[in-house]
Structure 1
Amino acid sequence: MLDEDGAKFGVDASGDWFYGFKIHALIHQPTQVVITAMLLPGNRRDQIAARGLARSTGGGVLLADEGYRGEELFDWLYDQAQTLRVMPSDDSGEGHSAISRARQQAESSFSGLWRRFSNRVYARSWHGLWTSLLLKVLHFNLDRADIVS
């Protein structure tokens, strides 16, 4: 139904095919609150999202999964967005377990978001879909801040 709005076939992290969009979120690590999010067609590479999300900040450290790999992206993030990308696969030495623990916390946040999104977002247009997702992100953030339960 959303062909005209850009829905495309894509592959998720487990290698399964899907049709639609992917949501990318920037999560503040200490509070687990979603700072910003973007919705892209399913066939867009994660590296495109990384650039957009990095532009919305004043720099920092991006803890990323393997979808954000690549030296070109690493250099762009550092030079253009004052952001250092860190991935568990970057170094297997000292500090690896701290990176893995932080990634585990981020994945926990994404799991919480997924539970809100899974089979519960119905829309007839891209704008309806995006509005529904933003409301779910808002509820997620309010829940993290103990304002709602």
Structure 2
Amino acid sequence: MVWWVAFWVFVIDQLSKIWVVHVLDLATRLQIEVWPPFLNFHMAWNYGINFGLLAGDAPATRWILISVALGIVLFVLVWMRRDPPGRLGLISAGMLIGGALGNVVDRVLYGAVADFLNMSCCGFSNPFAFNVADIAIFAGAFGLVLFPSAKNT
């Protein structure tokens, strides 16, 4: 189950990036209003981790972040094998793995993660952009905290 969830998260993430960044040409246009202010596409090449933390355009930073992401994927896989959680935990692990691998592919192909989703509401203007992989990583990590063992699902 982990691999199926990871596969579909990865595919949805990469297809959304291809569609928005290349087909809609967000890489050149930089901004597309979809449903203002709730949903807009804003091109942001993220060289760091969430919210641009640890950002640096240096090749060393890029490969360190790729290594960290792959290390996390390996850690989660070993964890799932040694102490398998219930169904919700496995789904959560797959989401985290698929999202992490989606962002790894971005770093390999582009040197940075392609972030494009921007959401604001109710007088709050969000300056940050994210992508489908980021959502999956966050939801997967949250799910692993909530559903770490088969007893909780």
Common fold: TM-score over 0.5: no
Query: Which has more strand, going by share of residues?
Result: 1
TM-score, normalised to structure 1's length?
A: 0.34
Higher relative contact order by CA 8 Å / sep ≥ 6: 1 or 2? Answer: 2
Query: Which has more helix, going by share of residues?
Result: 2
TM-score, normalised to structure 2's length?
A: 0.33
